[in-house]
């Protein structure tokens, strides 16, 4: 048995499933996971997500890595019960064929067992996000062994990320689904949107990693973002940062406003720093701007635009929406790149309608 297990660890793994088949982009600008009961997902650059997390920690004055890792654990525990992929089983990660494919098509990297004696150690190679990968592997090991574990992780220089797990005797309830009110309210019909632009310049690299136009990408489900929020909101409820007043959130819980503002501003800063060229000739241009900067990433789409002042102010109505703060921060970044000055964003969710107003943060004389 020892020889068999050793061989299982070193034998080549199966080829990852094709991301282009798993992730389906819809006519409302969002993206769903065909293997996990059509859960909403966001295609994001690995470097951009890391920049976003750093921006969040700066604005909230909190270290958020541990909370993201625990959110990832809960998230993976939940989605492993969804769809037709087999769950991890047994103490040989090399045999978790469907989970290896799952990781690969999410762009998370790859993993292998280092040690299964007193403390379990799993190596994540080329991890897309240390925190997400650590939580994900902890969830997989708990599922495979039917035991709860404490987990820690550490960067192992150029080798990757080492996740260490220690069994603990505790009874933790299984995670339940979280609600996203902006998802429940939509009444717009959605259907698959066939457009090769969504996967243009796709390149599969090593097993577990892939890129688009040379930028490494990963897929993040909305469920993970929502769980991360639940872990963080209690710690940032009174938080203020320099541009807090540039964001308002009508129709969403007041307790979420500081978090939503911090997230949106982190997204805005990350977007602006990338130097995108955005040109607005008239307010209707925002539909194509949203197509490029939202829909191609599964963040949503704009179906209607309306000018609200003579200085670039615009009201946008969404066809679909991944997350209000991520979308608002992205579009405010577009607005600031187009007009070269600070703006402000007012998101509103009323009945079945999500809208966003963008305008200058300072009054401009007519």
Q: Which pLDDT tens digit goes with each residue over 235-246?
A: 998 889 999 999
What does 260-292 look like in DSSP terms, one character per residue? Answer: HHHHHHHHHHHHHHTT-----SSTTHHHHHHHH
At residue 366, the pLDDT reads 65
Question: 194 falls in which pLDDT band (50, 70, 90)?
Answer: low
- What does the pLDDT average to over 324-338? 98
At residue 279, the pLDDT reads 96
Domain with residue 323: its CATH number is 3.30.1380
Q: Which domain holds residue 290?
A: 238-360
What does 46-69 look like in DSSP terms, one character per residue? Answer: HHHHHHHHHHHHHHHTS--HHHHH
Q: Does residue 206 lie in a domain region?
A: no
- What does the pLDDT average to over 188-210? 82
Same domain? 162 vs 273: no
| Per-residue pLDDT at 16 exceeds 80 | no
At residue 12, the pLDDT reads 37
Same domain? 25 vs 160: yes
At residue 3, the pLDDT reads 41
Same domain? 60 vs 160: yes
Count of structural domains within the chain: 2
Q: Does residue 176 lie in a domain region?
A: no
Same domain? 122 vs 269: no
Q: Does residue 231 lie in a domain region?
A: no
Percentage of residues in the chain with pLDDT exceeding 90?
Answer: 81
Q: Does residue 310 lie in a domain region?
A: yes
| Per-residue pLDDT at 9 exceeds 70 | no
Name the domain boundary from 125, 147, 167: 167
Q: Does residue 91 lie in a domain region?
A: yes
Same domain? 114 vs 252: no
Question: 277 falls in which pLDDT band (50, 70, 90)?
Answer: very high
Same domain? 31 vs 162: yes
Question: 185 falls in which pLDDT band (50, 70, 90)?
Answer: low
Same domain? 143 vs 246: no
Q: How confident is the model over 31-80, as pLDDT tens digits? A: 999 999 999 999 999 999 999 999 999 999 999 999 999 999 999 999 99
Name the domain boundary from 127, 145, 167: 167
Q: Does residue 156 lie in a domain region?
A: yes
Name the domain boundary from 143, 167, 191: 167
Q: Does residue 182 lie in a domain region?
A: no
Separation of alpha carbons 314 and 173, rounded Å: 46
Q: Does residue 202 lie in a domain region?
A: no
Same domain? 159 vs 263: no
Strand 247-250 vs strand 343-350: parallel, antiparallel, or unpaired?
A: parallel
Same domain? 155 vs 253: no
Q: Running DSSP on this structure, what letter comes out for residue 93? A: G
């Amino acid at each position: 048995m020892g020889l068999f297990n050793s061989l299982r660890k070193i034998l080549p793994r199966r080829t990852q499933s094709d991301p282009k088949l798993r992730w389906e982009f819809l006519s409302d600008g969002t993206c769903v996971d065909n293997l996990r009961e059509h859960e909403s997902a966001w295609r994001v650059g690995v470097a951009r997500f890391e920049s976003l997390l750093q921006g969040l920690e700066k604005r909230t004055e909190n270290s958020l890595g541990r909370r993201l890792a625990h959110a990832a654990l809960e998230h993976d525990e939940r989605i492993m019960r969804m769809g037709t992929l087999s769950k991890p089983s047994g103490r040989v990660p090399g045999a978790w064929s469907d989970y290896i494919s799952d990781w690969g098509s999410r762009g998370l990297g790859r993993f292998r067992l280092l040690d299964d004696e007193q403390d379990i150690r799993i190596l994540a190679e080329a991890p897309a996000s240390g925190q997400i990968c650590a939580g994900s592997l902890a969830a997989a090991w708990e599922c495979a062994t039917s035991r709860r574990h404490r987990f820690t992780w550490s960067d192992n220089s150029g080798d990757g990320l080492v996740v260490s797990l220690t069994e603990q005797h505790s009874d933790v309830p299984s995670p339940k689904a979280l609600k996203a009110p902006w998802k429940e309210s939509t009444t717009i019909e959605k259907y698959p949107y066939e457009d090769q632009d969504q996967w243009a310049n796709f390149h599969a690299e090593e097993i577990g990693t892939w890129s688009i136009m040379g930028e490494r990408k990963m897929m993040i489900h909305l469920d993970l973002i929502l769980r991360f929020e639940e872990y963080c909101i209690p710690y940032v409820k009174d938080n203020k940062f320099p541009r807090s007043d540039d964001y308002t959130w009508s129709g969403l819980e007041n307790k979420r406003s500081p978090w939503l503002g911090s997230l949106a501003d982190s997204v805005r800063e990350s977007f602006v720093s990338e130097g995108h060229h955005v040109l607005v000739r008239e307010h209707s241009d925002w539909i194509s701007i949203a197509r490029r900067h939202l829909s191609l990433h599964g963040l949503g789409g704009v179906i209607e635009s309306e000018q609200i002042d003579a200085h670039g102010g615009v009201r946008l109505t969404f066809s679909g929406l991944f997350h209000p703060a991520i979308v608002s921060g992205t579009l405010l970044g577009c607005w600031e790149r187009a007009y070269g000055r600070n703006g402000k964003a007012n998101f509103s969710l009323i009945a079945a309608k999500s809208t966003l107003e963008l305008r200058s943060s300072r009054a401009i004389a007519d």
